[in-house]
Amino acid sequence: MDEKTSFRELTPDIILPCVEECCGVSLEAVITPYNSYINRVYGLQDEEGRRHIVKFYRPQRWSAEGILEEHRFLQQCAEEQLPVIPPVILQDGTTLGEARGIHFAVFPLRAGRTFDITSEKDWARLGSVVGRIHQVGKKETAPHRTVCSPAATTGKYCKQLVAQGLIPPDCLDDFQSVCEQTLALITPLFAGVENQRIHGDCHRGNILDRLDQGLIVLDFDDMMTGPAVQDLWLLLPGHLSDCRTEMDLLLEGYSRFVDFNSESLRLVEPLRFMRIIYFLTWSAMQARDYNFEQNFSAWGTQAFWIKEIEDLNYQLERIGEHLSG
């Protein structure tokens, strides 16, 4: 099934009855689309006034087993009273529904505001939340999810971007060169690193403040197996060398719940490079979607790739500086 065609088939006359049947509720005939490029996400409300979110997963991105591993992680976190939103149990006792061959899950809507960090205690508080999640993450494995390592992901993504013919010929050699140099430099750093279930996309935009109810961590869609430091560096406002105080405070809170190997800090700047490549691959996956084209019209142009390669080379320099320092 073609991804773009299948998502466009998700019309209200398909979404509403499908969710009603799977959840055993009656819904108002109003659907609110949310900004989400990789998946399709809609707000719904039942006749009792309860608000829900239904997420339709992009076909061919995750297997059913992989999605259920995300749900399992969320459920385990919720059982430990962690601030997450597990999916709703459907009528058939599972958390994963299907409509026209597209997997979906339903979540209760939980609103909040951006968590503004204004004190050292706030940084430690964030670290504590991540530490508690990682405490649960260590309990099981997720064999159907991405492994965050240069060999398992970044190298493959670089080859994929080249093979898809997305990079202009004048930029191709420069792109391949910076990728090859960086992979050769960072791959040995991941040897012997302990991996576990992590959030994977733990930036501050995925953490909301519900004021009297505390923080809540959203969007485990990128849940993966990887080094714990991945969920910490994404919270920083800049490069590690410029954010030592913030990292120390995060680790102060984190270490209250789980041990942290300080040697893994050497992975922070390599992980930043890997995230740039991941984001390019993520964008390429949906580059021909109408909504993406409208919002990122310059994506894929020669000027775009020149800027991306400049950023990759800059990050390679930062990695070298960090390792030599």
Q: Which residues of 95-111 are buried (b: 16+ CB within 10 A; e: fewer)?
A: bbbebeebbbbbbeeee
Cα–Cα distance measured from residue 219 to residue 202, given in angstroms and rounded to the nearest whole number: 9
Q: C-alpha angle 204/179/220, rounded to 5°?
A: 30
Neighbours of 233 (CB within 10 A): 23
CA dist., res. 38 & res. 301, Å (int): 21
The amino acid at 177: S
Q: Which of 201, 221, 222, 289 is catalytic?
A: 201
- Strand runs labelled E in the chain: 32-34, 40-45, 51-56, 97-99, 102-108, 113-114, 196-198, 207-209, 215-217, 224-226
Query: Residue holding tokens 């398992």?
Result: 152
Annotated active-site residue in 173, 219, 289, 311: 219
219 carries an active-site annotation: yes
Report whether 267 contacts 195 (CB < 8 A). no
* CA atoms of 14 and 25, how far apart (whole Å): 15
Q: Rounded to whole angstroms, how far apart are CA atoms 76 and 82? A: 9
Distance CA 64, CA 83 (A): 25
- State the Cα–Cα distance between residues 10 and 88, nearest whole angstrom: 20
* 81 CB-contact burial (10 Å; exposed 0-12 / middle 13-18 / buried 19+): exposed
Render 74-106 in DSSP notation, one character per residue: HHHHHHTT-S--PPPP-TTS-S-EEETTEEEEE
Residues forming the active site: 201, 219
